[in-house]
Amino acid sequence: MNSLLIPLATEPGNRALTISLFSAVVAVTLYITWWASRQNKTAADYYAGGRSFTGSQNGLAVAGDYMSAASFLGISGQIALYGYDGFLYSIGFLVAWLVALLLVAELLRNSGRFTMADQLAFRMKQRPVRTAAATSTIVVSIFYLLAQMVGAGSLVGLLLGVKSEGLKAAVIILVGALMIIYVTIGGMKGTTWVQIVKAVLLMAGTVVITFLVLLKFHFNISDLLGAAATKSGHGESFLQPGLLYGKDLTGQIDFLSLGLALVLGTAGLPHILIRFYTVPDSRSARRSVQWAIGLIGVFYLMTLALGFGAAALLDTGKGSAVAESKGNVASPLLAESVGGGAGSIGGAILLALIAAVAFATILAVVAGLTLTSASSFAHDLYANVIAKEKPSEKSELRVARFAAIGIGAVSIALAIPAQKLNIAFLVALAFAVAASANLPALLFNLFWKRFNTAGATWSIYGGLISAVVLVVFSPVVSGKPTSMITGTDFHWFPLANPGIVSIPLGFLFGILGTYLGRDKSSEERYNELSVRALTGAGAEGPAKH
Amino acid sequence: MDDQAVRERDARAYEAVHEAADFTELKRRYRNFVVPWTIAFMAWYLAYVACNNWARGFMSHRIGGSHINVALIFGLLQFVSTFAIAALYGRFANRKLDPLAHGLNAKYKRERRR
């Protein structure tokens, strides 16, 4: 860390502007939460927003839930530093939505109620399946949550131009407190509207910066790319594959492994899956995904312009602010630059605006993740496993609210000491676990009659444990200068991304468990499940108030 | 009616829908769309990932003297294909799946009243 890290908003006037925009974001989201809380009456309201959002509203919310600060700041920053290779994440993130659209979204909407586990529990033994699904839901969400919160700490410090550890911790506590408030008070309805507002802000902010960048190059993409290549110092290879990934065969297999986890992970992310319950029917679930694909696709196309724009217009060399922040401040600094440059009023306004958008982005994503884990804890673990007899809806919801507070507190406690760790791998790990543990169980349950309780628990625990174990014994954790733990080397798995091994293992465990478990009672309700999934007969309808 | 009776009535209604010729047709249509398209977009995506690893010469080929190269076009085509398949599936589902699903849904409700 050095003084180069504080180029932003260092002038008192700029900082005041940034802080007032941050406060505006907080005020608006808290108002939404309060408004939503007055409409929360039943479990369907709290967990699923009354299932009354339209396809386009939910599409915006899905996009708002999915486009994290990691994609907004991270991807454009990676492009600014590594050129073309930085763009590859976003392609996997986008294509993944076709898996969700074709194989999961509508069928899940028709056959589940509130959580991912509902869909499995439809024809399996409640306790083991719900315990397994809740475990993987909470693990995936906490990995993802930690990445966002640690990111929030350093990001806000960076954007406000303060680099004290105390301030980072304060920001993490503030973000944690806000997400607890959104989720306990606003439930799914409040969280959804926070995500919708964030998606609109993020799209609008990105459109403005992209337009200004393209204007500088007279809308000539080739000129923009050429300028980026020259300024980057890498020349034409900046526009070609190879700067970041796949330097040798291990690296190439690692990249393939990452690509698989990205494309198969999305449709197994619990915080994405439960968004499909917020619409009245499967047709709106389909519309949601189509909207999300359009918004997310256009957004990633714009990050391409932002990334190459930052490479062309900013200093990204060794020791520069962009390089020191691992690319995270590329977009905010680019906003300042196209707004008129450092010291100009336009630059200050755009910088503050983008900083506030990034803040709103973090808040919306962490709220979605907290709600997902709290719902799963209350609805799957408490109501169906821990409680001796079925609790009333009221007491289940009370547990959900306490769970949100508990999960918020745990993630604050974990995020503060994790500040110094390299947390970028946590998002990739969340995707790998989702693809290895959740997706096999969901797909087998929908499309394979013979699949049973043992198969479901084996595939979830098997996929989860193999992904986590492989990462623990990978160079991410030990054995390299960039590893989390230095000084000792216990790695034996050569890849940083476990997907290429753990995803097939997840499916294999599902098959093995099914045959070794022998139990055929889950076949009884398979016809019922497939009728319900495909036709929507008997599916949960929208709430009537 | 007690819970047990409700469950049995619902189960009979589901079974009746499951036996309907329209349901077999719905399943067939869904499968015939989803399976080939899933294979197609996965293969197309993995081909892109593989080319980034193992066909860098091809990917680095510049187009018409501009700074735009095959790699960038291939990447952008992934966006185009994703948008296109999403639109295509939506149109297919609206026209070919929804009418059958609606009919079967109505049948389920009738069966439950019997």
Q: What percent of chain A has pLDDT over 70?
A: 96
Q: What are the extents of the domains in chain B?
A: 3-113
Question: Whole-angstrom Cα distance, residue A249 to residue B54?
Answer: 9
pLDDT band at A435 (very low <50, low <70, confident <90, very high): very high
**Biggest CA pair distance of chain B:** 77
> What integer pLDDT is reported at residue A4 of this predicted model?
38
What does the buried/exposed string (b/e) look like for A374-387 if buried means 16 or more CB atoms within 10 Å of the residue's CB? bbbbbbbbbbbeee
Q: How many helical (H) and strand (E) elements, i.e. helices and strands, does chain B have? A: 5, 0
Tell me whether residue A382 is in a domain.
yes
Name the average pLDDT for chain A.
91
Structure confidence by residue, pLDDT tens digits, A289-317: 999 999 999 999 999 999 999 999 999 98
- With a CB cutoff of 8 Å and minimum separation 6, the contacts of A196 are A57, A60, A61, A64
With contacts defined as CB-CB under 8 Å, which chain A residues touch B26? Answer: 534-535
DSSP B80-104: HHHHHHHHHHHHHIIIIIHHHHHHH
Reduce the DSSP state of residue A485 to 3 states and report it. strand
Owning domain of residue A8: 3-533
Q: Which of B17, B56, B68 is facing A535, going by the closest CB pair?
A: B17
> What integer pLDDT is reported at residue A5 of this predicted model?
39
Split into its structural domains, chain A has a count of 1
The residues with which A295 forms a beta bridge, in sequence order, are none
Tell me whether residue A545 is in a domain.
no
The size of the A-B interface in CB pairs under 8 A is 154
DSSP A16-56: HHHHHHHHHHHHHHHHHHHHHHTT--SHHHHHHGGG---HH
- Find how far residue B75's CA is from the centre of its chain: 22
> What integer pLDDT is reported at residue A419 of this predicted model?
76
B27–A534 C-beta distance less than 8 A: yes
Tell me whether residue A442 is in a domain.
yes
- Asked if pLDDT for residue A73 goes beyond 90, the answer is no
Which phi-psi region, left, alpha or beta, contains residue A112 (left: φ > 0; alpha: ψ -120 to 50)? beta
A98–B38 C-beta distance less than 8 A: yes
Search chain B and give the residue with CA nearest A83: B72
User: Rounded to the nearest 10 degrees, what angle do helices A499-517 and A453-472 cross at?
Assistant: 150
pTM: 0.94
A99–B67 C-beta distance less than 8 A: no
A84–B72 C-beta distance less than 8 A: yes
Minimum distance, in Å, between the CA of residue A102 and any CA atom of chain B: 6
Reduce the DSSP state of residue A283 to 3 states and report it. helix
For an interface test with A, give the residue of B45, B54, B61 to mutate (most A CBs within 10 A).
B45
Tell me whether residue A225 is in a domain.
yes
- Asked if pLDDT for residue B112 goes beyond 80, the answer is yes
Reduce the DSSP state of residue A537 to 3 states and report it. coil
DSSP A497-536: --HHHHHHHHHHHHHHHHHHH---GGGTTHHHHHHHHHH-
- With a CB cutoff of 8 Å and minimum separation 6, the contacts of A64 are A194, A195, A196, A197, A198, A199, A202, A364, A365
With contacts defined as CB-CB under 8 Å, which chain B residues touch A88? Answer: 49, 52, 75
Question: Whole-angstrom Cα distance, residue A359 to residue A260?
Answer: 30
**CB neighbours (10 Å) of residue A486?**
11
> What integer pLDDT is reported at residue A543 of this predicted model?
77
With contacts defined as CB-CB under 8 Å, which chain A residues touch B41? Answer: 95, 98
> For position A161, which CATH number holds?
1.20.1730.10
Cβ–Cβ under 8 Å, residues B69 and B60: yes
CA nearest neighbour of A38 among A191, A187, A195: A187
N- to C-terminal Cα separation, chain B: 14
User: Rounded to the nearest 10 degrees, what angle do helices A187-216 and A330-338 cross at?
Assistant: 50
The residues with which A463 forms a beta bridge, in sequence order, are none
